[in-house]
Each structure stands twice: as structure tokens, then as C-alpha cells.
Amino acid sequence: MSIHFLSDHRNATAQAREDNVSVLDPMAQQARDCFRQQAAAIEALGSRVDRSFALALRLLYSVQGHVVVSGIGKSGHIGKKLAATLASTGTPSFFLHATEGLHGELGALTEGDVALLISYSGETDEVCALMPHLQSRGIPTIALVGTPGSTLAKAADVFLDVSVDREICPNNLAPTSSTLASLAMGDALAVCLIRQRGFEAEDFARLHPGGRLGRRLRCKVRDVALPVPTVQRTATARDCIIALTRSRVHVLLVVDRGRPCGIVTDRELQRVLHTSDLALDVPVAEVMNPELPTIDADTPIGDAEIRMLQQGLDALIAVDADGKVCGVLTAPLDG
């Protein structure tokens, strides 16, 4: 195992990024301009948050059935994301394709639903065509539109203005800033609902049992801690390297008479090996970090990862209520 792999990789990656920026500077500048324009478009939304936003929020908060989100094209893609965000944060929701709705899927709606319709022009035929059917069934409607005087804005019970000065597309055609504005407005509604409902991390965990997010919310440190290899306090840097090559983790626990007295990571080894040709024979006591970073084995994974990030730790030693080592939680090698 090479002791230099981590720092060398990071240095090479940083240099490559600097080289790419200098070589592609015109392209990079265009990207920066895009970000500035889109940031300005989002910032402008804040000035339009008024009574209409509060009314929309009240409708969504009081929904007895589902929030039915609908749109076409790029607005439809934004709608799918918004429906998923609402559903995963405590507001039952699903996406209804406007065309499919006109061909039978309106049957999925119930009298307790609220419809959230997205059309930047406010004139999308399929979306506007849904309106009389929703109104005839007494389903309240909220519209996200970029043209306040449009057909959809006038027909909706509440409309939210998501207009932008222009798209970042050089032809001012491809939906870019406008879709971002709709997404941001939808996210603002979802976040306000989270606060209104008092939706906590525990609630979030129940709805996200899978993937890395579910792991962070559901699992405890003891559930994922790996066995930590050990070396005696009488060991040398050479012994540490040999032990690390046989381990799944890049951390060693140094023990003295059966009790932990320090840890060794590749960071400590790199520092020592760069100092002398005889570094392999350096005693582990001169290599290890005597400040043992421990954590309660029943701590949620998410909290442990935050601590490691904030404190710049490579690893945390998991201990139980009796102080017994249960394993080690390590930071990803790729940073």
C-alpha cells in the first residue's frame, strides 16, 4: 500500500482543476455569467412573495386528500420533482400528466384534493383544459405562471408569479431560468409546509428508508462501524504499514496493556515517512495521535458525519456505554 496515495491524488486533482480553468477560461466565464443571471432571477422571486403565497400555503396545508401537480414538457419535469418533494416531506402528493388527465386519469382525483398547475406561459392548452373539470368538482387550484394576465392565472384560485426577465439561453428560448424559478417557488412552498407541519428528521427517516440518506437518518454508528485493527505501543511505523495493508480501514488503534492510547491514520504516517530515511523504524508512540476521537456507538450516523466534517477528522472510534471499543467509523477516502 502506498502511503502517498491520498495527498498525491488530492494535489493532482486540485492542479488539474486550476489548469482546466485557465485553459477553458472563456467557457468558465460563460458559466459564471449563467450562475449570476440565474441567481438574480431567484432573488427577484422574493419581492413577489405576498398574500397569494400565504393563500397557496394555506390551501396546501389544509388539503384533506392529495396535492395533484400537473404540467407539460419542462414544466412537467419540474412538477414531478415538486410532487416528489411534497410527498417525501409529509404532504401527500402525486404528479398527473395533463394530457393523460384529459384521457381518463382525472378519475384519480378526489374531492379533498388541491391541484397545483405549472405553465410558464399560462396558456398551455392541455393544462388550461384541465381547469373547468377541476372547477366543476370543487377542487381548489394553484397556478405557477410567468404571465400574470394569462388564461391560467386568471382562472386559478391562487396564482404565483414565477416570471423572469429572460432565459439564460443565448436565444432566450430554452426554458432555463424560468424552470429554475418554478422549481424554487415550489421548494419554498414545500419548506414552509415542513415548518408548518413540524416535520422532523424522524418523520423524514420513516419516508426515506433506502439509500445513503436513509442510512444516515436510520442507522447508528454501531450499525456501520468496522472492526479496527490494533498495534501495540511497542510497534514501529513499519508494523503500522503492514497492519494497514491487511485491513479494510485506513485507521489503526494503538493499545497499551489492552487499553486504547492513540490512533494512527495515513495522515500521521505520511508526516513521519517524509522526515527521515529511517522513518520505518520510528516507534508508533512518535507517530500516533494520543487524542483518541471517540463517539457513542448509538449516535446517529448523520450526526457522526457532521462532527467528522466540522472537526476535520479521518475517523471516530465507536465505544459503548462501558467504554468498550465497538469499531471505527472512517471518512471516505475520496474526501
Burial of 202 (0-12, 13-18, 19+ CB in 10 A): exposed
Binned at pLDDT 50, 70 and 90, residue 12 comes out as low
Do the beta carbons of residue 57 and residue 196 sit within 8 Å? yes
pLDDT of residue 203: 66
What is the rounded CA–CA span in Å between residue 60 and residue 187? 13
Determine the pLDDT at residue 108: 92
The CATH code of the domain at 45-199 is: 3.40.50.10490
Find the range with the poorest average confidence among 30-44, 211-225, 256-270: 211-225
pLDDT, position 21: 53
Residue range(s) of every CATH 3.10.580.10 domain in the chain: 221-330
Out of 141-145, 176-180, 199-203, 294-298, which region has the weakest mean confidence (pLDDT)?
Answer: 199-203
Read off the pLDDT band of 34 (50, 70, 90): very high
Q: How confident is the model at residue 1 (pLDDT cuts 50, 70, 90)?
A: very low
Residue 228 grid cell: 479496527
Q: How far apart are CA 78 and CA 128, in angstroms?
A: 17
pLDDT over 70 percentage in the chain:
85
Q: Name which residue leads in pLDDT, 303 or 42.
A: 42
| Intervals of CATH 3.40.50.10490 along the chain | 45-199
**Most confidently modeled of 72-76, 304-308, 326-330?**
72-76
Q: What pLDDT is stored for residue 27 in this prediction?
A: 84
pLDDT at 279: 72
CATH of domain 221-330: 3.10.580.10
Averaged confidence pLDDT in the chain:
85
Put simply, whether the predicted model's pTM sits higher than 0.85 gets the answer: no
Q: Which residue has the higher pLDDT, 197 or 205?
A: 197
pLDDT given for residue 109 in this prediction = 94
More confident residue, 203 or 76: 76
Q: Using alpha carbons, select from 81, 97, 115, 58 the residue that is nearest to residue 187.
A: 81
Query: Strand (E) positions, the chain?
Result: 67-71, 93-97, 114-119, 141-145, 158-161, 230-232, 251-256, 259-265, 294-296, 315-319, 325-330
For residues 210-224, average pLDDT: 71
